[in-house]
């Protein structure tokens, strides 16, 4: 029996609750400092538990904790994309973007550290988690557009816009969150409309969509 289990405070939470408490503490730390600046001691201190307890839950140490926290952030991000299939398409996109930018705003430093790469704990697994979020965003957008078999030009347009949004988020954090979130959101939606219109000139599938969007207004 590990020593921590004998302390009453440690018995109050069950395994899932404890795990989730540690992930929350880690996410909050990662949200404000780069991963390489955070130690397991910091996480233990933030959660008000002992270092051995953190190791008991994350025997792989910091790398495992970082990946779990990243996965939990990725899940939260993907929830931003959930949007009912009602009303004009661009308005739905604006609402999803609003939640996404709210997440970026709230997790600023951690979000930058996560996406800017070069972190000492970055691995192909963490890259895969971030890529999973990008892919989920593309799937959501194409599904709202009502497209089940997107051609290469439409697919590339959507993926390019998602990358541009990600870049905009990082630049926005870098520029002290200017322009204001509402303006950034509307501007990004307008850009989506504009790049779709450009692709429509070369791609009949996208042209049909753009016609639908105009009627949708």
> Which H or E run contains 156?
helix 152-174
> Is residue 163 close enough to count as binding its own copies by CB under 8 A?
yes
Draw the binding track, 122-161, toward its own copies (x: CB under 8 A; -: no contact). xxxxxxx-----------------------xx-xx--xxx
Euclidean distance between CA atoms 23 and 65, whole angstroms: 7
In angstroms, the Cα distances linking 131 to 39, 87, 114, 163 are 26, 29, 12, 11
Closer to its own copies at the Cβ: 21 or 119? 119
Which residue, 28 or 151, has its beta carbon nearer to its own copies? Answer: 151
Name, in order, each residue with C-beta under 8 angstroms of 24's C-beta and a sequence gap of 6 or more: 47
Q: Does 66 bind its own copies (CB under 8 A)?
A: no
What are the backbone dihedrals phi and psi of residue 18, each rounded to the nearest 5 degrees, phi first? -65, -45
- DSSP sequence for 15-37: HHHHHHHHHHHHHHHHHHS-GGG
User: Considering the rule CB under 8 A, would residue 197 count as an interface residue with its own copies?
Assistant: yes
| Region from 49-57, 94-102, 184-192, 208-216 binding its own copies, contact rule CB under 8 A | 184-192
Candidates 81, 83, 199, 206; binder of its own copies (CB under 8 A) is 199
Binding site for its own copies (CB under 8 A): 116-120, 122-128, 152-153, 155-156, 159-161, 163-164, 166-168, 171-172, 175, 178-179, 183, 187, 190-191, 193-195, 197-199, 201-202
């Amino acid at each position: 029996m590990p020593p921590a289990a004998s302390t009453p405070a440690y018995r109050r939470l069950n395994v899932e609750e404890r795990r989730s408490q540690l992930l929350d503490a880690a996410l909050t730390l990662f949200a404000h400092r780069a991963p390489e600046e955070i130690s397991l001691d910091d996480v233990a201190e933030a959660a008000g538990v002992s270092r051995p307890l953190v190791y008991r839950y994350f025997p792989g140490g910091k790398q495992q904790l970082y990946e779990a926290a990243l996965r939990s952030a990725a899940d939260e991000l993907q929830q931003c994309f959930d949007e009912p299939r009602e009303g004009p398409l661009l308005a739905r996109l604006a609402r999803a973007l609003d939640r996404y930018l709210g997440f970026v705003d709230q997790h600023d430093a951690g979000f930058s550290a996560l996406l800017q790469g070069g972190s000492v704990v970055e691995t192909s697994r963490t890259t895969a988690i971030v890529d999973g979020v990008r892919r989920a965003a593309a799937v959501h957008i194409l599904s709202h557009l009502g497209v089940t078999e997107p051609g290469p030009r439409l697919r590339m347009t959507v993926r390019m816009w998602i990358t541009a949004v990600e870049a905009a988020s990082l630049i926005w954090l870098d520029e002290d969150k200017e322009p204001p979130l509402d303006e950034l959101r509307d501007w990004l939606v307008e850009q989506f409309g504009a790049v779709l219109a450009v692709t429509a000139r070369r791609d009949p599938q996208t042209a049909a969509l753009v016609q639908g969007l105009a009627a949708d207004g």
